[in-house]
Homo-oligomer: A and B are copies of this chain.
C-alpha cells in the first residue's frame, strides 16, 4: 500500500542505495540526483519504515526511560524535558513505568528493552545490585537521575546543599525548635535522598548550636496522608516546633492541611518549608527549595545524545543547583510560647510584613 524505497528508486530512476543515501543526506550524491530523489519521495508520500531501517542498521532510534511513576508531577516534568530534546533529535522515547511491584519484577525477568533501545535513562528508581547489573549488562549508554550507578552518566541536585539552605532559612528567621518530616528512610532498596537531607538537617542544627531532639524527626513516607499525620504528631509534642522542614512539597502540603484542620496558620503559628517547588507550591504560597525539574530531564537527554554521538567518551556527572523560593509559609519566629497559650503582645515582625519575593 504505502510506497517503499524501491518505488522511489524506480520513479527517480536510480538504485535503492542511492535513494537511501540521498534521503539521509549522506555525501557522494550529486545535487541533481538528490533533488530528483527528494521529489520522487515527496510525490509518493514516501516515509521510511523504521522497523526495516532499524533492523538493517542495528540502531533502534529509541531510548528507554524507566521510572516509578508517570503520573506524578515531578516525573511528568522530567519526562517532558527528556522528550523535548530527544524528539528534536529524532529519537523515540519508550516509557517503562515500574511503579507496580509486579511490573517491576516482570521487567527485570524479561528485560524487554534488551536489543530494543540505543540508550537508557533511569529516573530515581531504587534498584537492587542485581538489577543495576542487569541494566549495565544491556551495554547501552545509561543516564541516571538521583541515584548513582557506576559507569553511568549522572544528573542530580545537591541535596545536602538544598536541605541545608532550607534549614538555615528557618534558623535565620530565628527558629530554634525545628521539626523535620522525613521521607522513606527505611526503603530497603536504598533511596539515598532522604538520608542525605536528614543528615543536612542535623548538621545545620548542630552548627547553630541547637541540641538534637529525635522527637522532632517524624517519617512522612513521601505521601500527603502520612505527612499530615506526621505534622499532627509534631504538634502534639509537649514542646512543639515553631517551624517544620518537610522533605518534599507533597509532604509540606500534608503538613499544611493538618495545620488548617487544626485551625492553625502558617507562618503565624508554625512556619513550613518544603522541597521541590511543585506546581501547587505557588498556589499554596509555600516557601520551598526549588529544583529545576524539566531542566534535569533535558540534561539527561543531552548526556544521552553525547554518549550516542561519541562526542564525549567518559560519562559525565552534572549537579544542578537548587534555589530558595521564599513565599508566605515561613516567617520570623516569635519568642518562646506554647501553641495553646498565646502570648501577647507579640514581638517580632508581623508575618505579612515578611518578604514574599521570589529569589531568582
Contact = CB atoms under 8 A, between A and B. Distances in A.
Contacts of A112: 47
A114 B55 contact: no
Given A47-B111, A280-B280, A83 B70 contact: yes
Interface string A259-288: 010000000000000000001100111000
Contacts of A77: 71
B87 A80 contact: no
B47 A115 contact: yes
Contact of A92 (B52, B94, B224, B257): B94
Contacts of A51: 50-52, 54-55, 60
Contacts of A95: 83, 93, 95
A70 B79 contact: yes
A114 B71 contact: no
Interface in A210-264: 224, 253, 256-257, 260
Given A51-B55, A60-B51, A76 B87 contact: no
B70 A80 contact: yes
Contacts of A94: 92, 94
A63 interface: no
Question: How many copies of this chain does one complex carry?
Answer: 2
Contacts of A110: 47
A359 interface: no
Interface in A106-121: 110-112, 114-116
Nearest to A103: B87
A128 interface: no
Given A2-B114, A55-B52, A294 B71 contact: yes
Contacts of A253: 283
A97 B83 contact: yes
Interface string A1-35: 01000000000000000000000000000000000
Contact of A284 (B50, B72, B224, B283): B283
Contact of A80 (B73, B84, B97, B103): B97
Contact of A87 (B73, B97, B114, B283): B97
Contacts of A2: 114-115
Nearest to A293: B71
Given A71-B76, A71-B79, A280-B280, 14 more contacts: A47-B111, A47-B112, A47-B115, A51-B54, A69-B80, A70-B83, A71-B294, A80-B97, A83-B97, A87-B97, A93-B95, A95-B95, A253-B283, A280-B283
Top 5 nearest A-B pairs (CB, nearest first) are A71-B80, A76-B76, A280-B280, A51-B55, A51-B54
Interface of A: 2, 47, 49-52, 54-55, 60, 69-73, 76-77, 79-80, 83-84, 87, 92-95, 97, 103, 110-112, 114-116, 224, 253, 256-257, 260, 279-280, 283-285, 294
